Structure 1
Amino acid sequence: MGTVPPPDPVLLRLVRGAGLTAKTRSRLEEAVPGEFFGYPDGLTIRDRHALTYDRLRRAGLAAPPAPELLDDPPALCALLERAAMADPGLFHVMLLHYTLALGPILLFGSEQEGLRAARDSLESMESFGALLMTEVGRSNSHLAPRTLARYDAATREFVLTTPDDEAVKFPTNTAHPDIPKIGAVYATVEHGGRERGVFVFAVPVRGPGGAVPAGVEIVPAPDTTGLMVDYAAVRLSGLRVPYEAWLRDGATIGPDGQFHDPLGDPAARLTRSMSIGPPVWRAVISMSAAITRSAAGILHAHAADRVTLGRLAPLRPLTDYRNVREAVLESLASAYALTVVAAHVKQPRDGAGQAGGPATAWAPWSAVDRDLALLKAATTMEAQETVSRCRVLSGAPGFAATDRLNGYRGLAHAYMNAGGDNELILFDTARAMADLDRYEPPVVAGAVPDGGDLSSPRVWVHLARDCELRLQRRLAGRVAAARADGRDGFEAWNDNLSLAVRTATACADRTMLEILAAACEPEPGSEPASAAGAAGTLRPLLGLHALGWLERRAGVLLDEGVAEPGLLERVWERRGALCDELAGDAAALAAAFELPSEVTAPTAFVGQG
């Protein structure tokens, strides 16, 4: 292999993350060291899970304190990115621990002294966080958990109960018999004969040594390899927890038994209780970028300097074949595009989420933060497509010699449902678009700019906006016509769910492409030379990603009249030329990912016997 030129400083800054000092990056790398990038052979499933939690404990003690991380999105995301690259299972339990167990305590119960023991146990890694939110027997269970919490004034306790098998909490990471767990339990508070809304309770579901308290039954799920975590179902049977386990967020039950919630409305309380979403979505978007960088780096390492014995051209470099060259470069471009989006969502957003989002019908997520939820859906879909392609093009070694690409693929697939189901997010986004519920259609003025040059970011954005606008109008028209015909809400939407997905996907595409187009522009106040260099470095990479978007969406663009016949031929011609321009830079582009050597180490068996 020839000498690799030094990585471009613009790309290095992007991958390393703005606002992270070298000292912080070093500390996060020490929290997830090289030895975490794999498991010893011969472990049982239970032993592997135990090792994952041991690594989580070590990472948590080596990283900055949890409250600091939760108050610093770039740092928390950087830690979780490295965990995802090392081990998808570690990423998952780390995300649950920080954002979905500790996060609610700090957000909803920071003033409650009675939570100090649970908080200290989680922050010290004496116990690990678990999430008990979804219920196994009914879809969309986030909207109306049937697990009930009833207040017992005589003992000043809440009694938590899952009324039947359909209300059992699953999936949860509570199966390992020796690992102490504190669960964030989502339950509907019932008081005075009325449902008062969905709240969170901090509940030890496994105590020291893993002991299960009275009132908790844990049923381990069968072993799985998709995303290796100690899954289990949890049934609560009259579990008594103290009043202070209620993360009440300003709500109270007074000595006279009167219930008071400052929000005043169970629907608003549900949205508030689900407002733990944004830290999760930022982390999942960042994870999607990280595993895509790793997968693209693995594919590049596999293809670089590899020759083929095909009879068409024996001993010809594999990347001389356009299908491989373009796949490698498109994977690198996809990784950079997702990294730009991740960098965007980590930055402070003035007023984001404070005013709430649109009303929802399928899941609560869009009401919390429509754009973040939508970007979570878009980036996980992009990641799973790119990671899957890298796995296939890495051949047998990518499948059989290591579980890394399989693990990344499993993680991406898992988070198309976890953290908010992607399709439900798209449905609710489309509903808001059709009803103009806190949604403004994009403005599309004039003809396609820059002569329709597919290399122009203004062209990508124009086409995306035009497509979104046309789909939004068509969807709104269809739903309105159905309602005018006397059909109820279900019937009006049920016949238009496929169009709803296309419409919301167009909104996600436009949102992402606007972020990418902005990254191609010089930063305000920057020196002209450095600004031009930054834009020049990113523009061809993001342009290659945009060409991939045009190819994937060609059918919709043509069907909606946004593009004319011949689009694909133009895309393929421009992609071939751009890949030829970038081919010599592939090694430097991969090097700028600064992947740990454990990720891209070549497979070797000689001498290992």
Structure 2
Amino acid sequence: MDTAVNPAAAADRGLVRFVRGAFLDAEVRARLDAAVPDEYFTYPDGLTVRERQALTYQRLRAAGRAAPPADRLLDDPPALCALLARAAVADPALFHVMLLHYTLALGPILRFGAAQDGPRAARDALTGMDSFGTLLMTEVGRSNSHLSPRTVARHDPASGGFVLSTPDGPAAKFPTSTAHPDLPKTAAVYATLVHDGAERGVFVFVAPLRGPGGTPAPGVRILAAPETSGLPVDYAAVRLDDLTVPYEAWLRDGASITADGAFRDPAGTAAARLTRSMGIAPPVWRGVICASAAIARASAGILLAHSAGRGTLGRLAPRRPLTDYRNQREAVLGAVAAGYALTAVAHHVASAPAAAPAGAGPDTAWAPWSAVDRDLALLKTAATVQADRTVTACRTHCGAPGFAATERLNAYRGLTHAYATAGGDNELILYDTARAMADLDRYTPPDPGAAPGGGDLASLDGCLGLAAATERRMRDRLAARVEAARRSGDDPFTAWNDNLALAARTATACADRIVLEILRAAADTGPAALRPVLGLHALNLLGRRAADLLNEGVLPPGGLDGLGAARRRVCDDLAPHAADLAAAFDLPAPITAPTAFLADI
């Protein structure tokens, strides 16, 4: 296996074009790359925690001013995704605060406040990078807090504005990126609007939390969280003690309170209002999926560079190249294949048409996300899980240097762990997806007679057929178990609580099938060299799901051996091309092997 990493010029140009995507012209791409220059891929030594955080925000400000205007980026998903993906590869902390700033602070202003001209001063401060955007949504003391925040907003007839209040410590907003004492912060605050003694639904309010010098606004209490290395951002808990904001700070999305105090809302119900207010999620999910693809590619490149030309001293065969051992060969090629597969998913979501109107998704029980866009939320879970698996495998197969000689793989792993929960908890998304599947709520099971490829493991169609059959059988079994529980007198909680493990696996099977459909489409339209790489990823995906495939009778006894044999054949075919496959990722120059620092010795 030739693993010498060559310049991108040596790679298959079709693969390079595939990785870059066909959505951005060269001028825009160059501008986005320049917004996150190579120097952002490292930090100077010796910085304190607060100094490092300040530098992250300084880089965010510079990136925002160098990139196209924020409103243009938010109207151009491929461009915003490209900027976020490069930031994720450079520095996961920069990605995180950039995502918050654009999609979760500015996004609601532009989406919900455009018709009313929104809070102009806050919008100008955020678009000009004079203030950094953050989010106050999750409350620390209760799970599923998105469904019913205890932070409330009450209309003040005297001033015409609103008073935002957090009733107690458990209702404090956490985590928020608000701890740094010297930086200006503007927040999108999710609060339950209470009017005339009734809860009217969850709305977004814009609140400047820290002024130009970082001083908290009157009515804002900020408690810095303990330092963490997982995703090093300035986490804090925030309480609002009768914080007053003007009427324009209410991102009302067509709702209003008339002069005589009457409340009007086109959403109709508080539940529908929650879904509409959570409609800012699709740009978040697209950004997370594209970042997941980018760090998977970077991790694969790091592992390949670590493995290149590396000899071994094992007594079975001293001095054999490391990648002659199948565990390392399959790890390297599996990581490369995952990078290409996630890239296909990223292109799919970045270029997809606008989502259906909020509320077009299925009813939800655990979280609001599937009601906004079921498939996009589900792909976010699949992408973060796959990225985490890929980064972890690369770190493991880089040995001790993968842990101790570079922070990059550790930082990528911190990002994947964070976004298993951030942007919508993966498990809750799986549960709501499974509930919709069982109830046939805006879900159509795969046709049991339409298994393309006849289960042939040598083809993407065959892998897709196996995945679709597994999904169908698991969905039917889950629906039957829940229905039997209901008929026996169980309440909905008990009926579902006893089947959560099966529900999560069933929704995961649905995600597998959707991903494989995306991969098949990419293989059909992409360069010829792409098909065997995506085929390897399909085999790896089925291998991880082998227990369910065997349990549902989709694979016969011994089928796992067949998967293993197919994977070995594909890896042997791909091994001579490993360097070119990785070179086509066209990784930024600072992405190197873990022990590159030894060149200075």
CA contact (8 A) 2:23 2:351 kept: no
1:462 aligns with 2:465: yes
Q: Please, which of 190, 205, 210 is the counterpart of residue 206 of structure 1?
A: 210
Structure 1 segment 452-531 matched on structure 2, within 5 A: 452-521=455-524, 523=525
Structure 1 569/164 Cα, relative in aligned 2: closer, same or farther at 3 Å? Answer: same
Match of 2:529 in 1: 537
Match of 2:191 in 1: 187
Secondary structure of the residue aligned to 1:197 is strand
One-letter identity of the residue aligned with 2:587: L
1:597 aligns with 2:589: yes
Structure 1 20/2 Cα, relative in aligned 2: closer, same or farther at 3 Å? Answer: closer
Q: CA deviation at 1:351?
A: 5.5
CA contact (8 A) 1:251 1:261 kept: yes
CA contact (8 A) 1:128 1:182 kept: yes
Q: What CA distance in whole angstroms lies between the structure 2 residues aligned with 1:69 and 1:2?
A: 34
Q: What CA distance in whole angstroms lies between the structure 1 residues aligned with 2:318 and 2:61?
A: 52
Match of 2:178 in 1: 174
Q: CA deviation at 1:190?
A: 0.2
CA contact (8 A) 1:188 1:196 kept: yes
Q: CA deviation at 1:312?
A: 2.1
Secondary structure of the residue aligned to 2:135 is strand
CA contact (8 A) 2:275 2:358 kept: no
Deviations 1:74-105 (A, max 9, x none): 00000000000000000000000000000000
Match of 1:531 in 2: none
1:277 aligns with 2:308: no
Q: CA deviation at 1:488?
A: 0.9
Q: What CA distance in whole angstroms lies between the structure 1 residues aligned with 2:476 and 2:507?
A: 12
Q: What CA distance in whole angstroms lies between the structure 2 residues aligned with 1:14 and 1:3?
A: 18
Structure 1 474/451 Cα, relative in aligned 2: closer, same or farther at 3 Å? Answer: closer
CA contact (8 A) 1:14 1:343 kept: no
CA contact (8 A) 2:175 2:235 kept: yes
Match of 2:562 in 1: 570
Q: CA deviation at 1:572?
A: 1.3
Deviations 1:234-272 (A, max 9, x none): 000111111111001111111101111111211100000
Q: What CA distance in whole angstroms lies between the structure 2 residues aligned with 1:452 and 1:380?
A: 27
One-letter identity of the residue aligned with 1:91: F
One-letter identity of the residue aligned with 2:492: G
Q: CA deviation at 1:106?
A: 0.1
Q: Please, which of 16, 24, 31 is the counterpart of residue 28 of structure 2?
A: 24
Structure 1 590/277 Cα, relative in aligned 2: closer, same or farther at 3 Å? Answer: same
Which structure 2 segments of 5+ residues have no match? none
Q: What CA distance in whole angstroms lies between the structure 2 residues aligned with 1:85 and 1:456?
A: 32
Structure 1 259/296 Cα, relative in aligned 2: closer, same or farther at 3 Å? Answer: same
Secondary structure of the residue aligned to 1:95 is helix
Q: Please, which of 396, 400, 411 is the counterpart of residue 396 of structure 1?
A: 400
Q: Please, which of 106, 111, 116 is the counterpart of residue 107 of structure 1?
A: 111
Deviations 1:271-321 (A, max 9, x none): 000000100000000011000000000000000111112222222211111
Match of 2:552 in 1: 560
Q: What count of residue pairs does the alignment treat as equivalent?
A: 597
Q: CA deviation at 1:566?
A: 1.4
Q: What CA distance in whole angstroms lies between the structure 1 residues aligned with 2:293 and 2:389?
A: 12
Q: What CA distance in whole angstroms lies between the structure 2 residues aligned with 1:473 and 1:281?
A: 29
1:295 aligns with 2:299: yes
Structure 1 190/451 Cα, relative in aligned 2: closer, same or farther at 3 Å? Answer: closer
One-letter identity of the residue aligned with 2:239: R
1:38 aligns with 2:42: yes
Match of 2:322 in 1: 318
CA RMSD of aligned residues (A): 1.4
CA contact (8 A) 2:453 2:465 kept: no
Q: What CA distance in whole angstroms lies between the structure 2 residues aligned with 1:143 and 1:380?
A: 23
Q: What CA distance in whole angstroms lies between the structure 2 residues aligned with 1:368 and 1:113?
A: 24
Match of 1:376 in 2: 380
One-letter identity of the residue aligned with 2:54: A
Q: CA deviation at 1:450?
A: 4.0
CA contact (8 A) 1:444 1:462 kept: no
CA contact (8 A) 2:300 2:394 kept: yes
Q: What CA distance in whole angstroms lies between the structure 1 residues aligned with 2:20 and 2:137?
A: 34
Q: CA deviation at 1:449?
A: 4.8
One-letter identity of the residue aligned with 1:469: R
Q: CA deviation at 1:550?
A: 1.5
One-letter identity of the residue aligned with 1:140: N
Normalised TM-score (structure 1): 0.96
CA contact (8 A) 2:406 2:594 kept: no
One-letter identity of the residue aligned with 2:309: D
- Report which structure shows greater RCO (CA 8 Å, sep ≥6): 2
Which structure 1 segments of 5+ residues have no match? 524-533
Moved more, 357-366 or 565-574: 565-574
Q: What CA distance in whole angstroms lies between the structure 1 residues aligned with 2:337 and 2:44?
A: 33
Match of 1:529 in 2: none
Secondary structure of the residue aligned to 2:237 is strand
Q: What CA distance in whole angstroms lies between the structure 2 residues aligned with 1:127 and 1:137?
A: 28
Q: What CA distance in whole angstroms lies between the structure 1 residues aligned with 2:546 and 2:598?
A: 47
1:335 aligns with 2:324: no
Identity %: 66
Structure 1 321/259 Cα, relative in aligned 2: closer, same or farther at 3 Å? Answer: same
Q: What CA distance in whole angstroms lies between the structure 2 residues aligned with 1:600 and 1:366?
A: 39
Secondary structure of the residue aligned to 2:245 is strand
CA contact (8 A) 1:467 1:562 kept: yes
CA contact (8 A) 1:171 1:233 kept: yes
